Amino acid sequence: MSVNDLTIRAALVVGLALVALLLTGWRKTARATPKTSRGGQSGPRQVPFAVVREPTPAYTPPNPLKRLWSLLASGGLALVVGAVIATSLAFAVSLIVIRMTDLLKQ
């Protein structure tokens, strides 16, 4: 296959893509306003049950014991994740060094 054949095939694909875009652009566009319901009601739909609005309780911050526990738990989790990442990285670097030194010895 020559460069000319490849260029002609690429141009054909681009042409077909443009035709597909033009054909999809000629579709009927979406309506700006929704259809009215069959009953002829033009206003908003009514909900069949009443909505009760009640005030929610005010926000209360967690007590100091919960804050201390979350601090200790997140710190411990950070240490464990850091140790796993450091061990994996050290293992990968040691494999690279061993492989490179073996290649240099040959």
**What's the pLDDT tens digit per position in 21-41?**
888 876 666 666 666 655 555
Task: Specify the pLDDT at position 91.
Answer: 95
Block residue for tokens 């979350």: 70
The pTM of the whole model exceeds 0.75: no
Task: Specify the pLDDT at position 28.
Answer: 63
Token digits of residue 95: 């494999």
Condensed to tens digits (0 to 9), the pLDDT of residues 75-91 reads 999 999 999 999 999 99
Task: Specify the pLDDT at position 76.
Answer: 95
Report whether 42 contacts 36 (CB < 8 A).
yes
Task: Specify the pLDDT at position 32.
Answer: 60
Token digits of residue 70: 């979350």
Calculate the average pLDDT of the chain: 84
Which residues, 6 or more positions from 70, have their beta carbon under 8 angstroms from its beta carbon? 62
